[in-house]
């Protein structure tokens, strides 16, 4: 009896240690992600502070007093733990704009007028008030201020969809051939998947400028998706071959026994069974096309992709870290969403892949 | 006679099917891959006025950044592929144990793979500046005194080891997940019985791993490592995002440097093309060497 409880205790202790270990691992891996998310919610004022606040504030405490030029606005600094003067102006519109843009805080003109009249009518030197933060302010600003963020987003979706269409149809056919047939040159083609990757992608993008320009596809979504498909088709061949190998050929043969043609057997039997795996490869292709930046910078001019827009916010003249963070996170969200589904299909996609 | 004709036609048709299925790929590759590649190869053997020359390669080898770029790339590839393989194998073995919550754990570990390069760039750029979140975190944890800062990206040109270490860590952080999913897929195909047999015969975890799991996993490991090796040699974007051009030269960074940063020079295009060919040759030789050593060619025509 005693040893039984002992064993239980040991097991529980082991499990606790195991899960503590996992938590540490998760924390370590996701720590950088946490900070970029946190940064995307920080106000511009706080984003440039050191040390950087660990969590975004949910409200802003402000103090309004009299200054030399009019009203003196001070804001509670969470790091130095004191009110710090940030603005001295009589212009309420300017103050409202400052609170919105620099402090990322919601305030209306009426509310500000109310606070100033409260100050005028009181005997105190200053009045205190608290307003809720506009947490999505950076996201809002990113999409409003950044030139063509929304059209770029739509273009990126178009490009990803086209890339999926091209790679899955062309690569899928070859993948099926790999899974079902023995033919001469099979190994050469299998290695060619690697071969295509051995030539630096940037170096291909450069001569492609001329090739696409001649075809009137430079600076067009279709042009970019044609380039992305070069890399994507290779992996799609491997992955779809693995998926088709996972579906027994005997099922197709059985359908043929019942009078279906080979094509019908494929359409009616194999394809429906392969569909979840193929959907997973589509998501995989999406990740590549959606995230790609370098070729997009080279091959676009007036019609940038979303990744290029984020890149420009990050490094361009308009660069502002909290806005870039918001752009980066908006870009990462669909990719992370697809990854959530992808994890179920890892085995179907990569299980049969062998160099 | 009349009956055999459609039959043989059918036979030929049947034999042609796989070739018809791979035909679109062949056409696609020849238009969108072979053409630009040939253009670069021709460019690498041509001087500015369009005549054949080997001068471009002489210029590349005489470029004062060539050997630093070669060394840096070699160091990054050797260390990062090793670290990434060990990390990915460890994670794959862990997740394959199928504990409570392993599916969510897998998802969380995959997140670095899903992040776009610009987002990771932003993440590490804001982290590694003197006022960044890494120093802030160290300050809150008490490792840094007030006003004290670590200049992660600063320092003298000589202090390249620190920069190399940073690049390797950041690269590993982003790349381990994509290597891990390939290894995990291989592990999931491994039946438990095989491993259990190893344990029954008195093997401990390490012995079973070394004598049973890894040998059976060998083809999967080859796939994961070769894909990684090929792209590790071509690392450049994160380096340029963090350090700009020239601070830590690597081979592909040189291609982009000559093409994008100094496009005005007479020799820019020739240098970029020359570097491209050199990189491709290095990548191909390394890949072939790895495949030969790991024995991938032995199984040819058996799939």
Q: In this complex, do B19 and A183 lie within 8 Å of one another by their Cβ atoms?
A: yes
Averaged confidence pLDDT in chain A = 89
Q: Are residues A110 and A231 in the same domain?
A: no
In a domain, A49, yes or no: no
How many angstroms separate the CA of residue A265 from the nearest CA in chain B?
A: 15
Contact partners, residue A137, CB within 8 Å, separation at least 6: A43, A100, A104
Supply φ then ψ for residue A129, to 5 degrees. Answer: -150, 155
Which two tokens mark A188?
């050469």
In a domain, A71, yes or no: yes
Q: What angle do CA B11, B16, B17 make, to 5 degrees?
A: 100
Q: Are residues A249 and A336 in the same domain?
A: yes
DSSP code for B297: G
B123 vs A32, A338, A351: nearest CB: A32
Candidates A292, A183, A280; CA nearest to A231 is A292
For residue A1, the model assigns a pLDDT of 56
Whether A353 shows a pLDDT value over 90: the answer reads no
Q: Are residues A197 and A151 in the same domain?
A: yes
| CA–CA separation, B180 and B90 (whole Å) | 9
Please state the domain count of chain B. Answer: 1
For residue B141, the model assigns a pLDDT of 92
In a domain, A50, yes or no: no
Q: Is A33 on the interface with B (CB under 8 A)?
A: yes
| CA–CA separation, A279 and B205 (whole Å) | 37
B256 vs A48, A176, A202: nearest CB: A202
Q: What is the mean pLDDT of residues A120-129?
A: 90
> Is B295 within 8 Å of B225 (Cβ atoms)?
no
How many angstroms separate the CA of residue B201 from the nearest CA in chain A?
A: 24
| pLDDT, tens digit, 9 for 90 and up, residues B34-70 | 999 999 999 899 988 888 989 889 999 999 999 999 9
Q: Are residues A324 and A343 in the same domain?
A: yes
- Is residue A347 very low, low, confident or very high in pLDDT (cuts 50, 70, 90)? confident
Averaged confidence pLDDT in chain B = 87
For residue B167, the model assigns a pLDDT of 94
Q: Look at residues A109, A134, A159 and tell me which one is the last residue of a structural domain.
A: A134
For residue A300, the model assigns a pLDDT of 87
In a domain, A342, yes or no: yes
For residue B4, the model assigns a pLDDT of 47
Whether B1 shows a pLDDT value over 50: the answer reads no
Q: Look at residues A106, A134, A162 and tell me which one is the last residue of a structural domain.
A: A134
Q: Are residues A9 and A101 in the same domain?
A: no
Q: What is the mean pLDDT of residues A316-333?
A: 82
Q: Write the DSSP string, B27-72.
A: HHHIIIIIHHHHHHHHHHTB-TTS-B-SHHHHHHHH-TTHHHHHHH
Q: Are residues A22 and A71 in the same domain?
A: no
For residue A317, the model assigns a pLDDT of 53
| CA–CA separation, B175 and B155 (whole Å) | 27
Q: Are residues A220 and A333 in the same domain?
A: yes
| CA–CA separation, A75 and A57 (whole Å) | 13
Measure Cα distances from A196 to A179, B279, B295 in Å: 21, 13, 21
B115 vs A298, A327, A332: nearest CB: A332
How many angstroms separate the CA of residue B194 from the nearest CA in chain A?
A: 17
Q: Are residues A158 and A129 in the same domain?
A: no
> Is B18 within 8 Å of A177 (Cβ atoms)?
yes
In a domain, B303, yes or no: no
Candidates B132, B130, B115; CA nearest to A327 is B115
In a domain, A51, yes or no: no
| CA–CA separation, B276 and B37 (whole Å) | 10
Its sign, for the CA torsion B39, B45, B46, B47, is: positive
| CA–CA separation, B264 and B259 (whole Å) | 9
Nearest CA in chain B to A297: B260
This prediction has a pTM of: 0.89
Whether B253 shows a pLDDT value over 80: the answer reads yes
- Is residue B3 very low, low, confident or very high in pLDDT (cuts 50, 70, 90)? very low
A164 or B191, greater pLDDT: A164
B206 or B252, greater pLDDT: B252
In a domain, B34, yes or no: no
Q: Are residues A147 and A296 in the same domain?
A: yes
Q: What is the mean pLDDT of residues A325-345?
A: 90
For residue A165, the model assigns a pLDDT of 96
Q: In this complex, do B28 and A233 lie within 8 Å of one another by their Cβ atoms?
A: yes
Q: Are residues A340 and A261 in the same domain?
A: yes
Please state the domain count of chain A. Answer: 3
Range of the domain at A28: 2-41
DSSP code for B149: -
For residue A318, the model assigns a pLDDT of 56
Site from B18, B150, B281 to mutate, A interface, most A CB atoms within 10 angstroms: B18
Q: What is the mean pLDDT of residues B76-102?
A: 94
Q: Which of A67-76, A219-228, A250-259, B257-266 has the lowest mean pLDDT?
A: B257-266
In a domain, B120, yes or no: yes
Range of the domain at B231: 64-297
How many angstroms separate the CA of residue A5 from the nearest CA in chain B?
A: 22
User: Between A and B, how many CB-CB pairs are < 8 A?
Assistant: 263
Q: Look at residues A71, A104, A134 and tell me which one is the last residue of a structural domain.
A: A134
* Domain at B160, CATH number: 1.10.3720.10
> Is A90 within 8 Å of A69 (Cβ atoms)?
yes
- Is residue A244 very low, low, confident or very high in pLDDT (cuts 50, 70, 90)? very high
- Is residue B241 very low, low, confident or very high in pLDDT (cuts 50, 70, 90)? confident
- Is residue B7 very low, low, confident or very high in pLDDT (cuts 50, 70, 90)? low
Q: Are residues A71 and A163 in the same domain?
A: no
Q: Are residues A194 and A63 in the same domain?
A: no
| CA–CA separation, B60 and B282 (whole Å) | 14
Measure Cα distances from B247 to A297, B84, B239 in Å: 22, 24, 9
Whether B210 shows a pLDDT value over 80: the answer reads yes
Residue that has been written with the tokens 């291609």 in this structure: B255
For residue A190, the model assigns a pLDDT of 80
Measure Cα distances from B207 to A126, A201, B199, B218 in Å: 74, 41, 9, 16
For residue B155, the model assigns a pLDDT of 67
Q: What is the largest CA-CA distance in chain B?
A: 96
Burial class of residue B35, CB neighbours in 10 A (0-12, 13-18, 19+):
middle
| pLDDT, tens digit, 9 for 90 and up, residues B130-163 | 888 999 999 999 998 888 888 888 766 557 888 9
Candidates A243, A350, A241; CA nearest to B221 is A350
Name residue A89's beta-bridge partners.
A71
In a domain, B16, yes or no: no
State how beta strands A71-77 and A59-66 pair.
antiparallel
| CA–CA separation, A73 and A119 (whole Å) | 12
* Domain at A240, CATH number: 1.10.3720.10
Q: Which of A223-227, B25-29, B111-115, B128-132 has the lowest mean pLDDT?
A: B128-132
| pLDDT, tens digit, 9 for 90 and up, residues A32-80 | 999 999 999 999 999 888 889 999 999 999 999 998 998 999 999 998 8
Helix, strand, coil distribution of chain B in percent, nearest 5? 75, 0, 25
In a domain, B19, yes or no: no
Measure Cα distances from A333 to A160, B114, B134, B222 in Å: 15, 9, 23, 32
Burial class of residue A309, CB neighbours in 10 A (0-12, 13-18, 19+):
buried
């Amino acid at each position: 009896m005693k040893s039984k409880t002992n064993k239980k205790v040991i097991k529980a202790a082991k499990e606790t240690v195991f899960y503590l270990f996992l938590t540490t691992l998760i924390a370590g891996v996701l720590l950088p992600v946490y900070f970029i998310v946190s940064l995307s919610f920080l106000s511009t004022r706080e984003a440039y502070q050191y040390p950087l606040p660990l969590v975004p504030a949910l409200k802003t405490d402000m103090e309004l007093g009299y200054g030399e030029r009019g009203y003196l606005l001070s804001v509670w600094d969470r790091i130095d733990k004191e009110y710090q003067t940030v603005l001295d102006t009589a212009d309420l519109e300017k103050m409202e704009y400052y609170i919105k843009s620099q402090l990322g805080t919601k305030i209306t003109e009426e509310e500000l007028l109310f606070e100033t009249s409260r100050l005028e009518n009181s005997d105190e030197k200053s009045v205190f008030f608290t307003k809720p933060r506009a947490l999505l302010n950076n996201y809002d600003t990113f999409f409003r201020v950044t030139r063509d963020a929304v059209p770029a987003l739509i273009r990126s979706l178009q490009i990803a969809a086209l890339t999926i269409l091209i790679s899955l149809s062309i690569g899928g056919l070859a993948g099926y051939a790999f899974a079902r047939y023995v033919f001469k040159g099979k190994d050469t083609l299998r290695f060619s998947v690697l071969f295509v990757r051995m030539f630096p992608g940037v170096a291909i993008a450069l001569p492609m400028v001329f090739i696409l320009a001649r075809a009137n596809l430079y600076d067009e979504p279709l042009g970019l998706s044609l380039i992305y498909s070069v890399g994507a088709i290779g992996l799609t061949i491997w992955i779809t071959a693995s998926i088709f190998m996972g579906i027994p050929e005997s099922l197709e043969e059985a359908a043929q026994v019942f009078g279906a043609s080979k094509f019908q057997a494929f359409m009616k039997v194999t394809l429906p069974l392969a569909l979840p795996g193929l959907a997973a490869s589509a998501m995989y292709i999406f990740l590549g096309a959606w995230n790609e930046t370098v070729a997009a910078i080279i091959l676009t001019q007036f019609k940038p992709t979303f990744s290029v827009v984020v890149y420009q916010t990050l490094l361009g003249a308009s660069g502002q870290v909290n806005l870039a963070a918001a752009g980066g996170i908006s870009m990462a969200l669909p990719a992370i969403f697809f990854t959530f589904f992808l994890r179920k299909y890892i085995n179907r996609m990569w299980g049969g892949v062998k160099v | 006679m009349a009956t055999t004709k459609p039959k043989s036609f059918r036979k030929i048709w049947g034999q042609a099917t796989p070739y018809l299925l791979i035909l679109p790929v062949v056409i696609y590759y020849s238009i969108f891959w072979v053409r630009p590649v040939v253009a670069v190869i021709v460019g690498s053997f041509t001087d500015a006025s369009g005549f054949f020359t080997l001068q471009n390669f002489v210029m590349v080898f005489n470029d004062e950044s060539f050997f630093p770029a070669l060394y840096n790339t070699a160091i990054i590839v050797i260390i990062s592929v090793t670290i990434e393989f060990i990390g990915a194998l460890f994670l794959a073995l862990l997740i394959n144990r199928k504990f409570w919550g392993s599916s969510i754990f897998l998802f969380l570990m995959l997140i670095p793979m899903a992040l776009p390069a610009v987002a990771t760039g932003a993440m590490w750029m804001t982290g590694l500046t003197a006022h960044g979140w890494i120093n802030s975190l160290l300050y809150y944890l008490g490792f840094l005194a007030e006003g004290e800062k670590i200049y992660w990206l600063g320092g003298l040109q000589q202090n390249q080891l620190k920069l190399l270490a940073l690049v390797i860590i950041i690269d590993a952080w982003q790349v381990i997940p994509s290597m891990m999913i390939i290894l995990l897929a291989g592990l999931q195909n491994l039946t438990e019985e095989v491993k259990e047999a190893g344990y029954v015969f008195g093997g401990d975890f390490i012995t079973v791993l070394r004598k049973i799991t890894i040998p059976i996993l060998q083809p999967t490991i080859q796939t994961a490592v070769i894909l990684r090796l090929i792209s590790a040699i071509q690392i450049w974007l994160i380096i340029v995002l963090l350090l700009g051009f020239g601070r830590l030269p690597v081979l592909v960074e040189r291609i982009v440097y000559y093409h994008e940063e100094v496009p005005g020079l007479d020799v820019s295009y020739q240098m970029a093309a020359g570097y491209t060919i050199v990189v491709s040759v290095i990548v191909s030789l390394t890949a072939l060497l790895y495949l030969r050593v790991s024995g991938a060619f032995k199984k040819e025509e058996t799939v």
